[in-house]
Amino acid sequence: MRKQILVGLILLLAIPVLADQIILKNGDKLTGTIVKSDGKELVLKTDYAGDVTVKFDAIQALTSTGDLHVTLGGKTAVGPVTTTGDNVVVATKAGEPVEAPKASVTLVRSPAEQAAYEKSLHPGFAEGWAGGLNLGFAVTRGNSETKNLAIGFNAVRTGFHDKLSLYTNSIYSTNDVTGATPHTTSNSIGGGARYDHDFSPRVFGFVTGDFFHNSLQFLDLRSSFGGGIGLHAIKNPTTSLDLLGGINYTHESYSGVPQVPPLTGFYSYTKSYAAAVAGDTFTHKLGKSTDVMQSFFFYPDLNNTSDYRWTLNAGTVTKLNKWLGWQNSFGDVYVSDGLRPVGTKANDLQISTGINVSFTH
Q: Are residues 187 and 237 in the same domain?
A: yes
Q: Are residues 234 and 349 in the same domain?
A: yes
Choosing from 91, 120, 149, the residue where a domain stops is 120
Q: Are residues 148 and 288 in the same domain?
A: yes
pLDDT-derived band at 179 (thresholds 50, 70, 90) equals low
- Cα torsion through 111, 162, 280, 276, rounded to 10: 170
Write the pLDDT tens digit of every residue in 245-257.
999 999 999 999 9
Choosing from 67, 95, 120, the residue where a domain stops is 120
Write the pLDDT tens digit of every residue in 103-113.
899 999 999 99
Residue 22, beta-bridge partner list: 30, 62
Q: Are residues 234 and 348 in the same domain?
A: yes
Q: Are residues 202 and 344 in the same domain?
A: yes
Tell me if 232 is assigned to some domain.
yes
pLDDT at position 109: 94
Q: Are residues 308 and 353 in the same domain?
A: yes
- Percent of the chain's residues with pLDDT above 90: 59
Give the separation between CA 229 and CA 200, rounded to whole angstroms: 12
Q: Are residues 218 and 290 in the same domain?
A: yes
Q: Are residues 205 and 351 in the same domain?
A: yes
CA angle 120, 124, 130 (to 5 degrees): 80
pLDDT at position 13: 45
Q: Is 164 helix (H, G, I), strand (E, B) or coil?
A: strand
Give the separation between CA 221 and CA 189, rounded to whole angstroms: 9
pLDDT-derived band at 6 (thresholds 50, 70, 90) equals very low
Q: Are residues 83 and 166 in the same domain?
A: no
Tell me if 1 is assigned to some domain.
no
User: Which of 252, 259, 230, 226 minimizes the C-alpha distance to 307?
Assistant: 252
Q: How many other C-beta atoms lie within 10 A of the C-beta of residue 88?
A: 26
pLDDT at 94 over 50: yes
CA angle 193, 209, 267 (to 5 degrees): 130
Q: For 54-68, 70-84, 130-144, which range has the lowest pLDDT when averaged over its residues?
A: 130-144
pLDDT-derived band at 182 (thresholds 50, 70, 90) equals low
Q: What is the CATH number of the domain that holds 332?
A: 2.40.230
Beta-carbon contacts of 57 under 8 Å, excluding residues fewer than 6 positions away, are 102, 103
pLDDT at position 145: 75
pLDDT at position 178: 59
pLDDT at position 147: 83
Q: Are residues 354 and 207 in the same domain?
A: yes
Tell me if 150 is assigned to some domain.
yes
- Dihedral sign computed on CA atoms, order 189, 195, 201, 203: negative
Instruction: Please report, for residues 10, 241, 257, 287, the alpha-carbon distance to residue 291 in angstroms, rounded to integers and kept in the order given.
Output: 56, 14, 40, 8
What b-and-e string marks burial along 204-226, b requiring 16 or more CB atoms within 10 Å of the CB? bbbebebebbbeebbbeebebeb
Q: Are residues 217 and 321 in the same domain?
A: yes
Tell me if 274 is assigned to some domain.
yes
Q: Are residues 238 and 337 in the same domain?
A: yes
Tell me if 7 is assigned to some domain.
no
**Mean pLDDT across 207-224:** 94
pLDDT-derived band at 8 (thresholds 50, 70, 90) equals very low
Write the pLDDT tens digit of every residue in 290-329.
999 999 999 999 998 889 999 999 999 999 998 899 999 9
How many separate domains does the chain show?
A: 2
- Could you tell me if 66 and 78 are in contact, meaning their C-beta atoms sit under 8 angstroms apart? no
- Could you tell me if 174 and 146 are in contact, meaning their C-beta atoms sit under 8 angstroms apart? yes
Give the separation between CA 75 and CA 307, rounded to whole angstroms: 58
pLDDT-derived band at 177 (thresholds 50, 70, 90) equals low
Give the separation between CA 61 and CA 54, rounded to whole angstroms: 13
pTM: 0.72
pLDDT at 10 over 50: no
Choosing from 120, 147, 171, the residue where a domain stops is 120
- Could you tell me if 190 and 211 are in contact, meaning their C-beta atoms sit under 8 angstroms apart? yes
Range of the domain at 256: 129-360
**Mean pLDDT across 54-62:** 92
Q: Which long-range contacts (CB under 8 A, 24 or more apart) does 344-349 make?
A: 344/216, 344/217, 344/218, 345/217, 348/188, 348/214, 348/216, 348/217
